Chain A
Amino acid sequence: MKVVTRVSEALQIPRKKPITGARAIAEAVKLADVDVIAAYPIRPYTGIMNALAEMIANGEFMAEIIVADSEHSQFEIAKHASAVGARTFVGSSGVGLAYATEAIIVTAMDQLPVVAIAGCRALDDPGNFGMEWNDVLLFRDSGWLISWAKDPQEALDMTLVAYRVAEDRRVMLPHFIAVDGATITHIAAPVDVPSKKDVTEFLPLYRPPYPLDPAYGPVTKAQHIAPSLIGPEQRKHVDVAMKRAREVIVEAWKDYANYVGREYSPFIEAFHMDDAEVALVTMGAYTINALHAVEKARKDGVKAGLIRLRYFRPFPFWELRKVLSSVEGVGVLDFSYSFGSPDSGGVLFNEVRAAMYENPKPALDFLFLGGREPKPDDFVRALKILYEYVRTGKTPGNKRVFWLTLRGEDV
């Protein structure tokens, strides 16, 4: 009989280690037994590669780790290794993602299930270590799956689930896991690392349908075409894969809960939505701060709720429409810009509005741009403006979009 020596074991409390998000993601990559890793330094995602390099140097697991000459090469390396049949890991932040754009895009069009971390960071100029979403949102139209983690634990879980979804034969698309910069990568939190056995059962070996390997005979991949030959059909493949991903994501999270014991609602996380009259919608690490604001408002008698999107692609429009069906107003907490877009709102704002097209709700956008940290009060203020708008139909300056962290006049 097994002798139980720890209180936590006796009480069956999962043992959690306080580790940073960067370390947590590296643990997931190790558990997934990734074969090829391509690295290039840029804050804040670098810590993940540092951790992996150390693990490999110390023999904790085996992988080829390549220090690339650029992010373009980094993503090309991952793409080509994936085509051979290797499980791959890559990542970047800010301008690094922009630099790799071409390679990132063809990876999706080639339907190669590369998994990448986007450690969200403001794009240059000026150089800025702050957090914005625009770097990863550059790829919102490209055929990459994009999920958004709220803390180190979820970043680890999402990484494992990303491999499972991306490599599913019904999908075969690359997958970004977006993490809100240093708020996740550099902050230590208690994290439960699943057992190797559970992960191995949850995540079968990667087997591409047509590996680029002489043992499988000659395949020609991504041959140049005249547009009339298979132009639309090839795009349709990607479209169908993205559509199928919805059911695969639901299955994968259910299965993950069975093996690892942590349950998530796959697409959206809803707080206090049962009787909510106004709702905030956001993604990522600031959810917790938004929740404090919502709970504070509830104490003051405002029926506020909060929704966190866990996926940006595929966008959970159906789930969002349903959960918002009974609210009277929606406020988006948005860390993205889209200059010149409808109402000059952020990317998330206009996606949320598009999702509500069939059942429109009054909606406001609260922008947190340029990387300046929001204060808890900013979220409280957002709710106040939203609540006032719902009651009176009026907003300060009759605006739809508010730059809440801006100093000076928000013209």
Chain B
Amino acid sequence: MEILIQQLFNGLTIGSVYALVALGLTLVYGILHIPNFAHGALYMMGGYITLTMMTRFGLHYWLAIFVSIIVVGLLGVLMERFVFHPLREAPPIHDKIAAIGILLFLEAFAQFYWGAEYQSMPTPYGQIVEVFGLTLTMQRILIVVAAVVVMFILYLFLKKTFTGATIIAMSQNREGANLVGINTNKVAMLTFMISGGLAAIASSLSAPINLVFPGMGHLVILKAFVIIILGGMGSIPGAIVGGYIVGFSESLGATYISNDYKDIIAFLFLVLILTVKPTGLFSKGGSH
């Protein structure tokens, strides 16, 4: 029983991280209809930048995360401007290949600049606490709480501000948005900024309990793709729910099925979904 609760909490932690990454991915998909294969590289960059800010510049954890959000967000904006924007009319294969190019570059860059070794990130929240008989680290609690706070802020931004409303409008109808005078370029850049920022938050939060290394984004991005297909491409609530579903099933699978194959669970989900419904769950049928 205790193991079960412990694992459920682990699932909550991993799920929070997944949800944040998937949110960024789904926002970009909603606006530009591109699956950003380079999103995992943004996640990785976020981890490294926070780490560097802390170790080299001695910044506090939170301050380091803030710098990381800005830098990775700007990286996202650059990607939109110089790569995805010029490719918006190109055949569908092109943006994916372009994104893969960016991914390869950023990973090679990380390896070149920071080295290939695994690095651990210090955290001011390393202490262990007991809650209802469970042994938890503060960092894990922090991940869960911070993720919820971030999601809440994002929700407020999208629902309560004009800028947020334009993002929603554009994800529903790009041409329509163009017609009613929304500056679609600005919205696209803003979305990439937010998407990059979310990736940076996710990796900075999870790095202390995992590690920082050039390939740290690989699995996360793949799972984030599974999540947004699970939750509906472009759907914001879908990304959150999907994130927790995958998080929980992984941590339970690791305990009760096999730790070796836990990473496969998410992909089996995906294979199952797309086998049954090739256009993804919750897609509007019949569209071409």
Chain A partners chain B: no
